[in-house]
Amino acid sequence: MSSVAEVKKQAEQKMQKAIEALKSDLGKVRTGRAHTGLLDHIMVDYYGSLVPINQVANVTLVDARTIGVTPWEKKMLPVVEKAIRESDLGLNPASQGDMIRVPMPPLTEERRRELIKVVKHEGETAKVAVRNARRDANNTLKEMVKDKEISEDEARRAEDEVQKLTDRFVAEIDKLLNAKEADLLAI
């Protein structure tokens, strides 16, 4: 038997997870500025095992538009460079001594519009996840009324609170999307 408080807590945790996933996804959508997290999901072939780039190289910011990648082993240089070039980020790395410079290409207007579509899609996905959490919570509450664990009044109050949670998280998603959109449109 679960309590009303547990139902609300579970819904809130699921909604929070949707926000975290959205933040992570938005972090991968690049603006014109360089940031080291951009390369986090790139996997490098390290002696037959695929490992994240930050486990074989030091990833730093050279300047606002350039990421520097310094592999810890000299012979990993071409492997790391190839992994960056073949990633889905459309980057063009260049070796310079024992460092790979990864310049951020400027965003074209068309590319910005595409990225905004991607961002809106990510936001919609997060909103669906939040609404699913609300639906699950409300279904659980209805079950609890049916099983006479709580009264209809308690269920109604709880549903109102779950709706307030939903509204709060949807507003937070909109805020994240607007910030990312402004970021993409800033030149």
List, for residues 84-129, the tens digit of each pLDDT value: 888 777 788 989 888 999 888 777 888 788 788 888 988 999 999 9
Rounded Cα distance between 108 and 115, Å, is: 10
Of 61, 77, 103, the one marking the end of a domain is: 103
What is the Cα Rg of the chain in Å? 22
Residue 24 shares a structural domain with residue 113:
yes
16 has a pLDDT exceeding 90: yes
Q: Is the pLDDT of residue 1 over 60?
A: no
The most distant pair of C-alpha atoms in the chain lies apart, rounded to whole Å, by 72
Distance CA 109, CA 2 (A): 52
Residues 132 and 95 in one domain: no
pLDDT at 126: 95
Structural domains of the chain, count: 2
CA–CA gap between residue 125 and residue 19 (Å, rounded): 10
Do 115 and 130 lie in a common domain? Answer: yes
Q: What is the pLDDT of residues 134-146, one digit of tens each?
A: 999 999 999 999 9
Global confidence as pTM: 0.64
**Percent of the chain topping pLDDT 70:** 96
Q: Which domain holds residue 119?
A: 4-28+108-185
DSSP conformation class of 1: -
CATH code for the domain of 20: 1.10.132.20
Mean of all residue pLDDT scores within the chain: 88
